[in-house]
Structures are given as structure tokens and as C-alpha cells.
Structure 1
Amino acid sequence: MKEGITIAGTIAVDEIKKIEKYPNQSELTTIKSVMRSIGGAVSNCAVSLARIDGELPIDTLAMIGEDERGDYLKERLSHYKNIDSSQVKVLGDTPFTDVYQDATSRTFFTYKGNGLYFDESKIDYQQLRTKIFHLAYILLLDGLDKEDKEYGTKTAKVLRNVQKLGIKTSIDIVSENSDRYQKLVPPCLKFTNYCIINELEAGNSVGIALRNGDGKLIEHNIRKVLYRLKKLGVKDWVVIHTPEGSFGFDGKEIHSIPSLLIDNSSIKGTVGAGDAYVSGVLYGALKAFSLWEAMQLGTAAAASSLFEADGTSGVKAYDELVKMYQEYPKRNKVEI
């Protein structure tokens, strides 16, 4: 009997530098602190899920290098008895990301390393034994972003093969400034059960902006984007998460869930908040929650991740997250 979740794709080490402010080109800025944490969807989501439910079976499917960063990732994942890393392969250099974080924003410089070689040949379908298969990040996994004559992309082919096994699929996308979204994302949506992405990724995937030039959320476009993503083939849930709140569509109802209000003095970092949100929603999907209940759990998971500088150490257990969502003040609900 299938149970649990497989997290596949991008794994990395995050080298996090807090800075005074992001400099203009050729300018100097001061690094205030330096720390290291696990990064990428595979480690972030796996650990977040393990912290939400210490008994949940979690399989990880990725590639690490036979190097110091790879050893660090293995050691960190081994802290959780319910994370199975037997499908993690060792080859080449471990990917890493330099994260520069000031008071208002984060900027990422990534080294793809062996992530360049993660493709369909690295997936043993006979070993997949979970109910949900989460693959991330589209646009960052070069081997899977390649064209496939039958399915559009290799990612789409993998998702189709997983669905044929009776396993539900989930995707996430990396945020980048490019025109690749509308080529690489729509083919995957035909074979996706849960599409859980941020507003930049959602808007770019369908060519409808969700923020204006001043960075303000274009609220009246959110419904259009949800409908468009669902029409492109998502079978169960489309969810868009933003700092202001999250928005979901299950084919029948649209839900708007406000974010929790966290005092700025309590926020130690925002790295990994998106993956924490995804983890909460996927846990809800696995446990047959309604969409709005899963979105509330994701909202609390993302908020709890802000209490620590890395992306996972602040994520709380399920009962604490439920209590946190009930008790914390919330932003005004965004009407769409």
C-alpha cells in the first residue's frame, strides 16, 4: 500500500549572507553575518514535512556530490528517521546557492553542479512507493527541461509515467527573469495534480502579470491566472502563494487565505518559506484535507519558517501549526 511523499529534483547547500543592503553595480556593501543551511526543494520540503509529522514516510530522490557539501546534506537529512535517502545518487559536485538577504529582499546566485545531470534516467519508477510525487524545480533541472517530442518536455514525460503508477504528482517552479516559462511549464500541467507556485511563477507561466511595476499585487488578475492554470490541465489543486496571502482553485471553488501577521522583530529569515508553504499544502493533500484547510496549514508552516534564519528549523509540528493559524493575527483577506 502506497503512503507518504517522494520529493525529487533540486537539492543544494544554501550559503546565506545577511547584508546591509543590496548594492548597485560596482558598489560595496557590508556582510553582517554568514551561515549555512540545507537548500533546494528536496531537502527543504523533506525536512519541513518531517518536522510537521515525525511518522510520515518521506523519500528523497536527488543527486549530491562526493564532497564536503554533499556530506553536509547527508548528515542533516540523517537527523530525521522518517526521511529515506536511499535513492539519492552521488556524482560530481553538490549544487549550492549564495543567498544575499537584506531587510526587504533576497537575491540568489546558484551553482547547478550535478543538477545538470538529473534526468529521467535517474528515476527508478519501481522504487516509487508513495502516494504523492513532488518534483521541483522546473526551469532549474536542465536534464528534465529538455524537449520531448511526444510530451513537450522530459519533465512532462516523467510526471505522466508517475501518474500511470497511480501516484499523484506535484510541481514547483524556480523564480527567474526569463521567457522560458510558457514553453516549459504548460506541457507539465497536463500531468500535474497539485500545482503550488508563487505569483511570479504563476503569472509568467500563462503570460498574465500578477504584480505591477511598483510591486503591487494585481488582485483582479489572480482569478484569471488560477482559471488559466487549471484549464492547462492541472487535475486537482492550483495554488498561488504570495506574502499577502494565498489563492487556490479546485475546479469548483476559489479560496483566498490571508497570511499571518508576524512582527518584523521576530523574523530571522525568509529563505525556504515557499518550500515550507508547499510542504504544508502537500501534507494536507496527503491527509485528504479540503483545499482551504491545506492552504491554512501551508500558511502557518511558511510563517513558522520565518522564526529561524534557515528555511526549515522554525517549521513546527502539525498540532502547533493548527494552533498557530487559529491564534495569530492575519492580514486583511485579499478579495479576488
Structure 2
Amino acid sequence: MTKGIAIAGTIAVDEIKVIDQYPQKSELTTIKSVQKSIGGAVSNCSVGLAKIDESLVVEAIALLGDDERGHFLYDRLSKYKNIRLEHMKFTGETPFTDVIQDLSDKTRTFFTFKGNSTLFNEHSFELTKLNARILHVAYILLLDALDQQDSEYGTKMAKLLKKAQDLGIKTSIDIVSENNNRYENIVPPSLKYTNYCVINEYEAGKTAGIELRDKGGNLLASRIKQVLFKLKDFGVQDWVVIHTPEGSFGYDGSTLHSVPSLKLEKESIKGTVGAGDAYLSGLLYGAYKELSLLDSMKIATAAAASSLFEEDSTSGIKSFPELITLYNSYPKRDETFI
């Protein structure tokens, strides 16, 4: 059997609640609609990859609760013939996230219940039984057991990634956007054993200790190069990629690349939930197909854009040929920001 891509770690049910505008503390706002969907990297990236290429073998690895949310996730993933669920285990309570979608500025705010994700560790699946060329594990800072210290490797996550690499599996990581100061201690040990580091500007800045937006929210593009270099110096072996709403930036150890986002009509954007996971799916697929970093970033940009056409994380994602057409047909943002 041809080897594919394995996605491990965080899974959840997303309850997407659409409001006109996010309220101040103690204020009331009306929920206009509620939609339940799959969420978390394991769900989003597995489905994203499955839709990009129906022939690709995708292994989903996570803990599910033996509850209504757990069975909802299992049933939804089962609908895709190329997603393998042999590594799923039922225990504890299924994580869920309340996603508050603000119609006024298209932003979203997350309230998450970790559930059994705190139990997910290096023993939750067997690396030797994977049929994968690439293993993506997400999210650092959200998987408590893997964030624990390890005397030899720094963290349990780093130890897991090292074991995967020793088996000839390329590794990929993502980080959760969290308002704390844990990044600089917990993330770097894993980067030493990472082939593909694909994160947003907030996570990259916090890890490197360099702010990438000013107080007004403007992207400090002049600092991107410094952050890419610093992340690479932590030990990332192949690609470092930082994705932002304005565009994405990548470094492969020899060449810097930048790809502006697609210009979409505001009326066509229904939601931004899962755009980062969609971007990651496109980039991992490019790596799997041995495309260049630049071409992979273009596919990832199109995947992220396609996800915006629907409220949930995965419904809008297109197939690989459709993503190429989408990228080529839409105008790009002004490249002067790069």
C-alpha cells in the first residue's frame, strides 16, 4: 500500500455560533445561528487532505470520548473512504470548542474544553504501525501530556518526533494560539526534530520572542525574515512557514519565499474557522508530492482561501486541480507588504 500522511493529536467538535458583533464584558448579544461541525487539527487536516486528493491515504490519530460528540466525529470522518481510523481510541470526554464568529469583522474567538486531549501522549498510538511518509502532530501547547518535560529531549513531544524520524517518517508540527509566555520554553525542543514547521504570525512571534504585529494590528513584515531564520536555527530540517491573513512566508534553508493571499470579495467570505488548518493541509500535500516550497505555499494559499467560502472548517476545500485553478484565477493582494 502506498504510504500517505498521518495527522495526530487534537480533535474536537466545533459549535460555530454566529453573532453580529462581539460584546463587551457583561453585555448581551444575540446568536444568529448555530452550526455543529468537526474541529481540531486531526479532523480538519484529515478531511482537508482527503478532499484535496481522494487517492491519498490519510491516517487520523486521536482520542475520542464514548459520547455523542465522539461518535459524531467518528461518523463524519468515516464518510471519507481514504481516511483510516484504526488508530482512534475511545476514552474520557470528547473535546469541544465554542467558536464565536463575529460578522462585523469576520474574526472568531474560541472557548475550548480540552477533555481527553490532556491524555494524548506518545503511547496513544504505535509509530511502527503507521503507513505514512509524513506525521503531523498538533497542537503544541494544547496536548498537556506531550508538553511535559523530558530529561533527554526537552519535551515528550520532541521525543515522539525524534522516534518518528528514526523510523524514516518526516515530521510536522503546529502550535495553538494562546495568550501566555510558555512558547519559548515548550516549542523549541520539538523544532529540533521537525521537518515542516507551519504556524501563524502570532505563534511564530511568541516562539521567537519577536512581535510581528504592532499595537494597531499591522503586520511588521520587516521582521518576518529574522523570525524565519530564528525558527530554522532552532533545528527545523526542511521548511519553516509563517502564514498570515495578508500572505505567507517560507524559508527552506537557502531561499526565502513570500506568497500574497488571494483577493476575495467580502461578501463571499462566510467564515474563517479552520483557515490555518486548510493552509497546513495544502502545504503538507505539496510536501508529500515533493513540490517546491513555493509551489506548496501557492496550493496552501488556495486551500485556505477555499475554506473561507463556508462557515465550517472543511466544506469549502477543493481538490488539487481545483485549487490550482482557484489560485491562478483570483487576483492577489498587493505584494508591497512583503
Alignment TM class, shorter chain as reference:
over 0.9
**Offset of residue 28 of structure 1:** 0.7
In the aligned structure 2, how far is the partner of 1:252 from the partner of 1:311?
33
Are the counterparts in 2 of residues 190 and 233 from structure 1 also a CA contact under 8 Å? yes
Which residue of structure 1 lines up, in the alignment, with residue 57 of structure 2? 57
Deviations 1:89-139 (A, max 9, x none): 100110000000102211100000000100111121221221000000000
Name the residue aligned to 1:301.
303
Look up the SS of the partner of 2:45 in the other structure.
Answer: helix
Which one-letter code corresponds to 2:94 in the other structure?
Answer: T
- What do the CA deviations read for 1:298-332 (whole angstroms, capped 9, x no partner)? 00000000111101000000000001000101101
Contact 1:219-1:334 within 8 A present in 2 as well = no
Separation in 2, partners of 1:26, 1:280:
40
Structure 1 contact 258–334 (Cα < 8 Å) conserved: no
SS at match of 2:214: coil
Match among 206, 209, 212 for residue 210 of structure 1: 212
Q: Matched residues in 2 for 1:86 and 1:120: separation?
A: 16
Residues in 2 aligned to 1:71 and 1:285: alpha-carbon distance in whole angstroms:
32
Kindly indicate whether the alpha-carbon contact (under 8 Å) linking 1:301 and 1:321 is maintained by their aligned counterparts in 2: yes
Which residue does the alignment assign to 1:126?
Answer: 128
Alignment match, 2:315: 313
What are the equivalent positions in structure 2 for 1:317-336 lying under 5 Å apart?
317-334=319-336, 336=338
TM-score scaled by length of structure 2: 0.98
What secondary structure sits across from 1:122 in the alignment? coil
Contact preservation (8 Å) 2:306, 2:318: yes
User: What secondary structure sits across from 2:136 in the alignment?
Assistant: strand
Equivalent in 290, 293, 300 of residue 291 of structure 1: 293
- 1:20 CA displacement: 1.3
Which residue of the partner structure matches residue 78 of structure 1?
A: 78
Contact preservation (8 Å) 2:2, 2:57: no
Structure 2 unmatched ranges of 5 or more: none
Partner of 1:223: 225
1:254 aligns with 2:242: no
Asked whether the 8 Å contact 1:133–1:169 carries over to 2, the reply is yes
Aligned pair in 2 of structure 1 residues 156, 301: CA closer, same or farther (>3 Å)?
A: same
Q: Distance in 1 between matches of 2:84 and 2:125?
A: 15
What does residue 236 of structure 1 align with? 238
- Alpha-carbon separation, structure 2, partners of 1:128 and 1:162: 10
Task: Kindly report which structure 2 residues correspond to 1:156-195, keeping only aligned pairs within 5 A, or say none.
Answer: 156-195=158-197
Aligned to 1:269, the other structure's residue is in SS state: coil
Change (3 A) 1:17 1:335: closer
The Cα of 1:334 is off from its aligned counterpart by 4.7
| Counterpart-to-counterpart distance in 2, 1:127 and 1:272 | 29
> What amino acid does structure 2 have at the position aligned with 1:18?
V
- Secondary structure of the 1:247 match is strand
Q: Secondary structure at the residue paired with 1:131?
A: strand
Deviation at residue 51 of structure 1 after TM alignment: 0.4
**Distance in 2 between the 1:97 and 1:224 partners?**
34
Find the aligned partners of 2:260 and 2:222 in 1 and give their Cα distance.
16
Please show how residues 271-290 of structure 1 align to structure 2 within 5 Å: 271-290=273-292
RMSD (CA atoms): 0.9
- The amino acid of 1:122's aligned partner reads S
Shift of 1:333: 1.6
Query: Residues 115 and 334 (structure 1 numbering): CA distance in 2 closer, same or farther, change over 3 Å?
Result: farther
Q: TM-score, with normalisation over the residues of structure 1?
A: 0.99
**1:142: which partner in 2?**
144
Identity among equivalent pairs (%):
61
> Which residue of 2 is the match for residue 95 of structure 1?
95
1:189 Cα deviation from its structure 2 partner: 0.3
**Structure-2 residue corresponding to 1:197:** 199
Helix, strand or coil at the partner of 2:335: coil
State how far apart, in whole Å, the 2-side matches of 1:293 and 1:100 are: 33
SS in 2 for 1:155: helix
